[in-house]
Structure 1
Amino acid sequence: MSDIKQQALQCREAAQAIAQLSTDAKNALLLAMADALLADQAGILQANARDMDAAGAKGIAGAMLDRLKLDEARLAGIARALREVAELPDPVGQVTRRETRPNGIAIERVRVPLGVVAMIYEARPNVTADAAALCLKAGNGVILRGGSEAIHSNTAIAASLKRALRESGLPEAALTLVEDLRRETMVELLQLNDVIDLAIPRGGEGLIRFVAEHARVPVIKHYKGVCHLFVDASADPDLALRLLLDGKASRPGVCNALETLLVHEAIASSFLPRAGEALRARGVELRGDETAQALVPEAKPASEDDYAAEFLDLILAVRVVKDLDAAIAHIRRYGSDHTEVIATRDGAAADKFVQSLRSAVVMVNASSRFSDGGELGLGAEIGISTTRLHSYGPMGAESLTVERFVVRGEGQVRHPDLL
């Protein structure tokens, strides 16, 4: 038996112990994990510095480097997310539906843990803690396979979390960090369909496509975040500008950052020059169609590829559109089902925008940066699903459970005539 299969089997066995924990016991574990992270802060940040140095030597920069970096504030945020998950309602055991059939049998739909979740991720050491917290809260075991660029950070964080498991009298294998980072080992893990219940890849489009192509287990997919802001003719220009700057310039290397700005032609001549000036002041490069270039001469010509791109950088594609229908058509053609935003004072336009798009998150007069599990009340998030596999959009603890039927009777049989 290979090492990775043995690790997976041990995690599955440990998951049984986690599934039987009370809500109070799980919450106490998560609080202990948060304390352990802060107690080990110096060692974790030192490990992260090693990863950052190695990444710099390899020429890694931009969004990837930003996602890799930890500091005291970010580590405190990770610990805070663990505590927030502890405060969330426990999804395990929730009865989502209850009815009594005419024959007297009582039927319930009850949430239960998935079992074992495999997280495949890159350059995001916070995922090590976030995924562990959410999986454990939902009564699951978790197998973590991070990228080589964050190996020291992930190992240090996992060691703190596993210590909390051990000191709580629980099997450490419930949180398994894969240290063999060979690609063939990852492929073997993804094909353990008799052990792994769900795989969640989190990283660049290349990683996610690789996981989807090689897995024999169910996969939650999120290829990229091509997020749009449409500024409607009736939009409050000040409000629209706030959404634009927050969505594009606050942290361009994340999947809920804006990548394309669509502006109704009726407001373009007044809004775009002002928006262009504000964006340029924040170092944002604009790539626009002919109308946008005429209004913002500094804008470069936009290509078809630009409108489909997830830049993850201070680059924004811009298009002036005829109306709401044209904006919706553009998003349907180039969007990635992640997050779309409309700025408008027209309630009918807002309703049509929401109803016409199938994206996982649709915002009306709110920043795309709220498309995040923590901001949407999930505590931490384990990922964002843009495919409709039992969960859609940001995924929290509830998304790591499934509903099953529990039926209670008093001896009823379906075919009494055969007795």
Structure 2
Amino acid sequence: MADIKQQALRCRDAAQAIAQLSTEAKNALLRAMADALLADEAVILAANARDMEAATAKGITGAMLDRLKLDGKRLHGVASALREVADLPDPVGQVTRQDVRPNGIRVERVRVPLGVVAMIYEARPNVTADAAALCLKAGNGVILRGGSEALHSNTAIAASLQRALREAGLPEAALTLVTDLSRETMLALLQLTDVIDLAIPRGGEGLIRFVAEHARVPVIKHYKGVCHLFVDASADLDLALRLLLDGKASRPGVCNALETLLVHRDIAPSFLPRAAEALRARGVELRMDEAGRALVPDAAPVTDDDYAAEFLDLILAVRVVDDLDAAIAHIRRYTSDHTEVIVTRDEAHAAKFVNSLRSAVVMVNASSRFSDGGELGLGAEIGISTTRLHAYGPMGAESLTVERFVVRGEGQVRHPDLLD
């Protein structure tokens, strides 16, 4: 696999040029990339149409097909995300700590680029642009290895972004798209411990587990999004219904969609039948425990596997729980550490919910669909980490840097007695 190593080495060399750019130059580059995407809209959408046609012919449906699809609105959203990343503060060079030691040396912790990030992803062609923007903003090079189902879309998007690099006088290898999509090439990429500083897989659980199990380089990952919404006894039921419908029915094929609804026993009779009617009107299939089916008799029975499932579809698992503690216990058992939501008017219950769960994002009276880098102020996200390394939760540009020590002195030595 000499070719992939050579590509990676060229990306590493190009990353040095990106790391030395000023904030103004990086921001101008990202805005030029956004302009390039819109200038090439017809070409990119035509390439995506080829991918959609091939995917449909292969029998791909549902969430995967939705993630693959681009249209004018989505492409303009991708361009807007690049501009939002350009508008964000530059993490590179930020001093996060300053201290003067008793001997007079000044110690700083300063953010610097990671180096080369390998992004391995499925279906979502927008990731090509989002990952490139965040990596470049943070002064890194990026190697993009998308899925075969989006090859034409990814190639067209990468070509636009690379043109902006060339026109800025920068090496296009800073954004390297891998077009050899064989498993052997991916495995070889994941072994390059002397070149790749971080790998980020984004896609289905199978892809993420494959990368995590075979990589020799550090990996940021989250396997799936089993997101819960708990409706407490004190909840505003109108508000709870809005959050439920938005979290489940707005776009079920994404990782921040709700998969399980937990309802306090005291308000289940007034909430569950109403919620079931609204969900079914939007095509949602309900799978409930016995207490839930006593209130909604025609719901399907739920299983333990359902509570652990990331459906990525219009399917919702439902459980009636005795109290807040029971809701927390259920979430602890089945959580994927992605996103949990409580609907409550009780501030003490909200605080207990937040403090009792370790998930990357915890919401109080807000939709799970806000568990997204763009919605949380990151401009875009390169992925969501549930692995508690240097980043946890949605990852933006700052998460693609590390802190190092910079020490400034005036000739201090640690063992002056040796110099007498």
Q: Where on the TM-score scale, by shorter chain, does this alignment land: which range?
A: over 0.9
Per the alignment, residue 60 of structure 2 pairs with 60
Is 2:77 the partner of 1:104?
Answer: no
CA distance in 2, matches of 1:73, 1:381: 19
Contact in 2 for aligned 1:14/1:171 (Cα 8 Å): yes
SS of the aligned residue for 2:179 comes to coil
Q: What's the Cα RMSD here? A: 0.5
Structure 1 residue identity aligned to 2:293: Q
SS of the aligned residue for 2:217 comes to coil
Q: How far off is 1:165 after superposition?
A: 0.1
Structure 1 residue identity aligned to 2:34: A
Q: How far off is 1:168 after superposition?
A: 0.3
CA distance in 1, matches of 2:298, 2:311: 19
Per the alignment, residue 89 of structure 2 pairs with 89
CA distance in 1, matches of 2:81, 2:153: 18
Deviation digits for residues 254-282 of structure 1 (CA, Å, limit 9, x no counterpart)? 00000000000011011000000000000
Structure 2 residue identity aligned to 1:202: R
Per the alignment, residue 131 of structure 2 pairs with 131
Deviation digits for residues 300-327 of structure 1 (CA, Å, limit 9, x no counterpart)? 0001100000000000000000100000
Structure 2 residue identity aligned to 1:198: L
CA distance in 2, matches of 1:285, 1:295: 15
Per the alignment, residue 182 of structure 2 pairs with 182
Contact in 2 for aligned 1:286/1:298 (Cα 8 Å): no
Per the alignment, residue 284 of structure 1 pairs with 284
Per the alignment, residue 19 of structure 2 pairs with 19
Per the alignment, residue 37 of structure 1 pairs with 37
Per the alignment, residue 120 of structure 1 pairs with 120
Is 2:110 the partner of 1:144?
Answer: no
CA distance in 2, matches of 1:418, 1:298: 85
CA distance in 2, matches of 1:39, 1:273: 50
CA distance in 2, matches of 1:44, 1:151: 11
CA distance in 2, matches of 1:387, 1:317: 25
CA distance in 2, matches of 1:413, 1:205: 52
Per the alignment, residue 302 of structure 1 pairs with 302
Structure 1 residue identity aligned to 2:20: Q
TM-score, normalised to structure 2's length?
Answer: 0.99
CA distance in 2, matches of 1:417, 1:77: 64
Contact in 2 for aligned 1:284/1:314 (Cα 8 Å): yes
CA distance in 1, matches of 2:212, 2:90: 30
CA distance in 1, matches of 2:236, 2:73: 35
CA distance in 1, matches of 2:287, 2:386: 26
Deviation digits for residues 234-293 of structure 1 (CA, Å, limit 9, x no counterpart)? 000001001000000000000000000000001101100000000000000000100111
Per the alignment, residue 253 of structure 2 pairs with 253
Per the alignment, residue 192 of structure 1 pairs with 192
Deviation digits for residues 322-347 of structure 1 (CA, Å, limit 9, x no counterpart)? 10000000000001000000000000
Name stretches of at least 5 consecutive residues in structure 1 with no aligned partner. Answer: none
Name stretches of at least 5 consecutive residues in structure 2 with no aligned partner. Answer: none
Residue identity over aligned pairs, in percent, reads 88
Q: How far off is 1:298 after superposition?
A: 2.3
Is 2:341 the partner of 1:341?
Answer: yes
Structure 2 residue identity aligned to 1:177: L
Deviation digits for residues 116-164 of structure 1 (CA, Å, limit 9, x no counterpart)? 0000000000000000000000000000000000000000000000000
CA distance in 2, matches of 1:19, 1:33: 18
Q: How far off is 1:349 after superposition?
A: 0.2
SS of the aligned residue for 1:266 comes to coil
CA distance in 2, matches of 1:346, 1:162: 52
SS of the aligned residue for 2:142 comes to strand
CA distance in 2, matches of 1:31, 1:295: 54
Q: How far off is 1:294 after superposition?
A: 1.1
Deviation digits for residues 47-73 of structure 1 (CA, Å, limit 9, x no counterpart)? 000000000000000000000000000
Per the alignment, residue 391 of structure 1 pairs with 391
Is 2:332 the partner of 1:350?
Answer: no
Structure 2 residue identity aligned to 1:100: V
CA distance in 2, matches of 1:386, 1:337: 6
Per the alignment, residue 321 of structure 2 pairs with 321
Q: How far off is 1:296 after superposition?
A: 1.1
Q: How far off is 1:389 after superposition?
A: 1.1
Structure 2 residue identity aligned to 1:409: G
Structure 1 residue identity aligned to 2:158: A
Per the alignment, residue 71 of structure 1 pairs with 71
CA distance in 2, matches of 1:294, 1:26: 59
CA distance in 2, matches of 1:221, 1:312: 18
TM-score, normalised to structure 1's length?
Answer: 1.00
CA distance in 2, matches of 1:361, 1:39: 36
SS of the aligned residue for 2:406 comes to strand
Deviation digits for residues 33-55 of structure 1 (CA, Å, limit 9, x no counterpart)? 00000000000000000000000
SS of the aligned residue for 2:267 comes to helix
Per the alignment, residue 227 of structure 1 pairs with 227
Contact in 2 for aligned 1:88/1:379 (Cα 8 Å): yes
CA distance in 2, matches of 1:61, 1:89: 39
Per the alignment, residue 28 of structure 2 pairs with 28
CA distance in 2, matches of 1:299, 1:133: 45
CA distance in 2, matches of 1:276, 1:417: 79
SS of the aligned residue for 1:143 comes to strand
SS of the aligned residue for 1:43 comes to helix
Per the alignment, residue 169 of structure 2 pairs with 169
Per the alignment, residue 380 of structure 1 pairs with 380
